[in-house]
Structure 1
Amino acid sequence: MSGTNRGKSTFLELVFPPISNQEAYWFKDQPASEFMRASDFYMIGGKVKSKFVNLSACEETMVISFDLCIGDNVEGSGAIDVSRLEAVENYEGDKFGVGAGEVAIEIFYEKDGDNYLIERFTPENILWHRSREIAGLSGLDNYKDLFCYDLLYVGIAKKGDTYERLIRNGHHARLDILANEPQRYPGARVTDEIFLFLFRLEPLFVTTFGPDSDIDLDFGYDHKKIVADAEKAFVSLLQPNYNTVKFSQYPKGADGLYDSKLDRYTYSIGEAITFNTPHGQIKGGRDRNLGGLTNDADFIFVDKESSKLFIAGKDFGEEPNT
């Protein structure tokens, strides 16, 4: 079909805030797992232990102020207006409590002697919430600089979902990482410095037709093939340490998009996260209106013969005033 070009742009979007390896154990078989099942693409990262410090609360205004400490350094400050949080506004009970410490800031209610969470912030997921500009959270204006991790592993669920593959069932990469990664901060547990990122893929297909083209809107869409191809794209360029298979022949591959109708395609991270490896860095981005569709994010460009990482602000322009 002369003059027809098919393309696809896919961004990765978190279905759940980043969680530590320890939190993944706590959340197993809990209601939160239903949100995690929406993912079938995941990354594992490492970061120096963070904590909340200099906490203070005003009972009259219901505002909790805090500093965010990464390692030994205070890197940011913020405040939570509890009354403005969406989860609190939607809470139909009469009373709730607030707990605040180094590990978490929690809003909860009590029933039959047990505490049930209304909202929970950790030193890591609060950066994600800040990137989403949720109501009730202010400060941390440098969240993009703090939302950075060492990328250790990229994986997919070829069948089923990330929760079953990575969390509910034992996963070799998680075990290898826990066994081999060093402490990033003296006295910290490795399980508290390893983080899981549960993504779903959001593809956008575009076709251009020439004057002599037959109109064919069949992309041959296969979600799991897109997932498999995305894994190969990220691993082949970034080469995370714990991915033993590096997909050196990519974009060629039997279970990806090489034999699809697509002529070219891109991948980016639709979150304001930066991942570092010894072989490269990739920076994500998020737009307040368009979500993961933004020029702030680096992207991987693929055609049938090659793949390349394009850097925002260097290889193409970033969005202004972001």
Structure 2
Amino acid sequence: MSNFMNRKSLLNQLELAYAPLTAYEFAIVKDDKLIERALEKASLYLIGQRPVSTFENVIPDTTVYQLNFEIHQRGNPNILKCKLPFDQEIFGLMQDNVVDVAFNYLDRPIKQEKCPFQNIHGFSLVRHTENGKEFIIWFSPEKLLQNWWKGFIDCEIQGDWKSYIKYKVHYVGKATKQSILKRLTGHSTFQDILSLEAPVTEKQLPANEIVILPFEFQDNLQIQSFGEEADTKDMVASLLGDNYPDQEKIFIDAEKALIKAIRPSYNKELFNSYPISRDGLYNDNYDAISYTFIDPIVLVYEEGEIRGGLTHTGGDTILIINNKEFKLVKHK
């Protein structure tokens, strides 16, 4: 009986380490030190696809010092109406700072002289200082949404924003030995997806539709309960976290679990025998292991979808019971 009482579970919560980046954005920012720092703890990534999103009807409102705009997505009937105030702590503006907004247009050759400005895939805020101009922050539609739902920025957003963050998954990968940036720079599968996938909307470059979603663990929670005859040494070790698997091992296991659940078309190895594995968590003998996504994204694949962020603990759950049973539990 006592043996039955000794149980241990591992609950893993994955969260975006940075906003989803299109292949085009990735090519621009991959040498950026800030992004490199943000992705330090991210060892798992998905390559997905969604229709192009843009900022439309952009009007700087000088009376209240904010940017008014809409976010549109090709083929998505939902339009988001947004207001972004410049005067908020994260932008670090002083009393007399003048702010410029610099736009990156989707069609670069076309200059737009008058507002409202259209067809913008990103904008930067720049402040004037005594030494010239200083970059503050850059936003794509997804980075704005992700910074907003995480509570990093104040922004008024009206409309069905969750319909903008659905991703068809092509590939699941991990980068435990090197950074995601280095891993993807010469990544042949990444290049294959860009070359072979047809755009969702015609006349669009796949580079503006193919996105990289980098993940880190928000939490790995080990829960243990001990029976009456449990060894005190084991209990102390558990309290001190000594018998805890290292992050790299959990990332390796997470990659296998996600690939088995989603079966992405560009993954050559589908880990059909998972949870049995030499380098994952199989030998740690957990009674239960779970993987959930904290962010409100939707991952779409052949068999259905995995929804994240439905509660503060995550959404749909990939569950492994007693090292044998593997299932996706949909959140009610």
1:320 is matched with: none
% identical equivalent positions: 25
Q: Does 1:285 align with 2:301?
A: no
Per the normalisation by structure 2, the TM-score is 0.85
Q: Does 1:206 align with 2:230?
A: no
1:112 CA drift (Å):
9.8
Quick check: 2:71–2:82 contact (8 Å CA) kept in 1? no
2:213 is matched with: 197
Quick check: 2:148–2:154 contact (8 Å CA) kept in 1? no
Instruction: Provide Cα deviations, 1:94-149, integer angstroms capped at 9, x if missing partner.
Output: 33312355112321135799854312221222221232244421114422222111
| In structure 2, distance between residues paired with 1:71 and 1:199 | 26
Say which of 236, 251, 254 aligns to 1:227.
251
Task: Identify if the C-alpha distance between structure 1 residues 277 and 57 changes in structure 2 by more than 3 Å, giving closer, same or farther.
Answer: same
Q: CA RMSD in A?
A: 2.3
| In structure 1, distance between residues paired with 2:76 and 2:318 | 34
Quick check: 2:127–2:133 contact (8 Å CA) kept in 1? yes
Work out which of the two has the higher radius of gyration on C-alpha atoms and give 1 or 2.
Answer: 2
Q: What secondary structure, in the 3-state scheme, does the structure 2 residue paired with 1:97 have?
A: strand
Instruction: Provide Cα deviations, 1:11-57, integer angstroms capped at 9, x if missing partner.
Output: 11111111111111111221222212221111111001111112222
Which has the larger displacement, 112-121 or 185-194?
112-121
Unaligned segments of structure 2, at least 5 residues: 104-116
Read off the aligned partner of 1:126 and give its amino acid letter: L
Task: Identify if the C-alpha distance between structure 1 residues 130 and 74 changes in structure 2 by more than 3 Å, giving closer, same or farther.
Answer: farther
Instruction: Provide Cα deviations, 1:256-293, integer angstroms capped at 9, x if missing partner.
Output: 01111422110011111001011231011065xx5xx2
Read off the aligned partner of 1:232 and give its amino acid letter: K
Q: Does 1:149 align with 2:167?
A: yes
Quick check: 1:250–1:306 contact (8 Å CA) kept in 2? no
2:16 is matched with: 14
Q: What secondary structure, in the 3-state scheme, does the structure 2 residue paired with 1:104 have?
A: strand
Unaligned segments of structure 1, at least 5 residues: 314-322
Instruction: Provide Cα deviations, 1:206-235, integer angstroms capped at 9, x if missing partner.
Output: 001112222411434221111111011010
Task: Identify if the C-alpha distance between structure 1 residues 91 and 4 changes in structure 2 by more than 3 Å, giving closer, same or farther.
Answer: farther
Aligned residues: 305
1:317 is matched with: none
Per the normalisation by structure 1, the TM-score is 0.87
| In structure 1, distance between residues paired with 2:96 and 2:320 | 52
Quick check: 1:17–1:197 contact (8 Å CA) kept in 2? yes
Q: What secondary structure, in the 3-state scheme, does the structure 2 residue paired with 1:23 have?
A: helix
Q: After the TM superposition, which segments of 4 or more aligned residues of structure 1 sit over 4 Å from their partners?
A: 90-93, 110-116
1:255 CA drift (Å):
0.8
Q: Does 1:57 align with 2:81?
A: no
Task: Identify if the C-alpha distance between structure 1 residues 65 and 306 changes in structure 2 by more than 3 Å, giving closer, same or farther.
Answer: same
Q: Does 1:307 align with 2:309?
A: no
